[in-house]
Structure 1
């Protein structure tokens, strides 16, 4: 694996490469990238974050973020994508973290699809970010290679920058004694269990992106179940404390006063 160089990008030619990379990753038509060249040019010129990861001079990953509320404390990371085989995700997040700390910021936020296991593990276990809100249909319906026309429910996570930073090999997540399974996978479908326990496990399907292609009905069932269970728990004030075994959210309720 080639050594990566992660750096900010400013010039139109390189921003056009980022746009083309996003089109490739998201499988969109030309001109339908989740972040276009002109938008990135404006954001970068205004002092926001646009960075690329390069392997032997070839762009293999990129991230775009902008300042957000609370003003002076937060960066919102809007789009991050990387080609497989280069392990660019963690170096990009390290670079974004260092960039934010150098500007006096204390947290980074972003959204992700709570049904994607690898993203949940990366965001919660490797980075230490924590979900703070469940957003139903946040972007409307997007018919690209990743979203497949599914409802775009998203989890908003916050990454506190005063922690230890990203870890390539995070320690196992502690599951509280007596935790019950609130959502599980059975024959590929979601099964809702108890939701009233102090500690709960919310399982994620093994490969929701493949399921959207092979069984859209099952994918829709998972979207609705995750919305009901994880979305409902977060709305009630429960906290996600980690992602266990690359399969399940660990959710806890604060004891009653």
Structure 2
């Protein structure tokens, strides 16, 4: 499911009944602002990105794009150029989409094409490691990989999704020409192989996290579970949500810090982590 880029339309692409294009005007940026406001429900002083910032980023040659269905905006993405060591990358600051349109995947393929046209080989972004659907989308449907755990990355957040929780994030790295990424963007989600001797470093029982033997010397593969719906859990059982936050931070965070690699997301429920030999 990939769009065909049209140079005459300055980056416009069509994917099924979606039109994707880079945004240039204040009215377009206002559309994005309203879309994000409806998704994240931030406090008035806590918008994830402002109209003025989108204007500046776009004017400076960064990535600001929208997905439209029958002239209605249903998704948008804002990113900026950055450096990782000596390598230039696109950092995708925020992507939001209404459910049911396929706009999230379409925007990512559009973003990937935009980056490759500019000689970039990696896109990075951060996401909450506790949100199952985002983990599955990022790792399985796109083929990105979490490479760094970032505790309380944004400090205290007070929007309608994150209120009451710490803003831990993982840094996802999307290596745009890797074989498993090429397969993913063709519509073939990545399904990791789970060896028979894999251990549950973090499991779930009655909605609560249960820790396992991540330090076992013979455990080359560790599975790290996340809650079924952490956003609902924050509202209904904030204490349980807090337990999950701490457990994932300590188990997944420690594994990544010690050199382990996340290689996939299994059964839409747990990270697959390969420990170094």
Q: TM-score scaled to structure 1, two decimals?
A: 0.95
Match of 2:133 in 1: 118
Confirm or deny: 8 A CA contact 1:23 1:30 kept in the other structure.
Answer: no
Query: CA shift at 1:30, angstroms?
Result: 4.2
Match of 2:264 in 1: 242
SS across alignment from 2:185: coil
Query: CA shift at 1:73, angstroms?
Result: 2.7
For residues 9 and 187 of structure 1, what CA distance do their matches in structure 2 show? 46
Mapping of 1:127-138 within 5 angstroms?
A: 127-138=142-153
* Counterpart among 89, 109, 119 of residue 94 in structure 1: 109
Aligned length: 255
Is the counterpart of residue 188 in structure 1 residue 207 in structure 2? Answer: yes
Confirm or deny: 8 A CA contact 2:77 2:107 kept in the other structure.
Answer: yes
Confirm or deny: 8 A CA contact 2:46 2:159 kept in the other structure.
Answer: no
Consecutive aligned runs of 4 or more in structure 1 exceeding 4 Å deviation = none
Confirm or deny: 8 A CA contact 1:239 1:251 kept in the other structure.
Answer: yes
Confirm or deny: 8 A CA contact 1:239 1:253 kept in the other structure.
Answer: yes
Which segment is superposed worse, 170-179 or 20-29?
170-179
Is the counterpart of residue 176 in structure 1 residue 195 in structure 2? Answer: yes
For residues 158 and 100 of structure 2, what CA distance do their matches in structure 1 show? 25
Confirm or deny: 8 A CA contact 1:135 1:155 kept in the other structure.
Answer: yes
Query: CA shift at 1:22, angstroms?
Result: 0.7
What's the CA shift string for 1:20-70, capped at 9, x where partnerless?
111110012445320110000000000000000001000010000000113
For residues 186 and 246 of structure 2, what CA distance do their matches in structure 1 show? 32
SS across alignment from 2:214: coil
RMSD: 1.5
SS across alignment from 1:243: strand
Is the counterpart of residue 19 in structure 1 residue 33 in structure 2? Answer: yes
For residues 114 and 223 of structure 2, what CA distance do their matches in structure 1 show? 35
Mapping of 1:104-253 within 5 angstroms?
A: 104-163=119-178, 164=182, 165-196=184-215, 197-253=219-275
Is the counterpart of residue 41 in structure 1 residue 60 in structure 2? Answer: no
SS across alignment from 2:125: strand
Confirm or deny: 8 A CA contact 1:237 1:253 kept in the other structure.
Answer: yes
For residues 48 and 17 of structure 2, what CA distance do their matches in structure 1 show? 27
Match of 1:254 in 2: 276
Query: CA shift at 1:72, angstroms?
Result: 5.6
For residues 143 and 213 of structure 1, what CA distance do their matches in structure 2 show? 13
Gapped regions of structure 1 (runs ≥ 5): none
Is the counterpart of residue 103 in structure 1 residue 118 in structure 2? Answer: yes
Gapped regions of structure 2 (runs ≥ 5): 1-15
Change (3 A) 1:211 1:176: same
Q: TM-score scaled to structure 2, two decimals?
A: 0.89
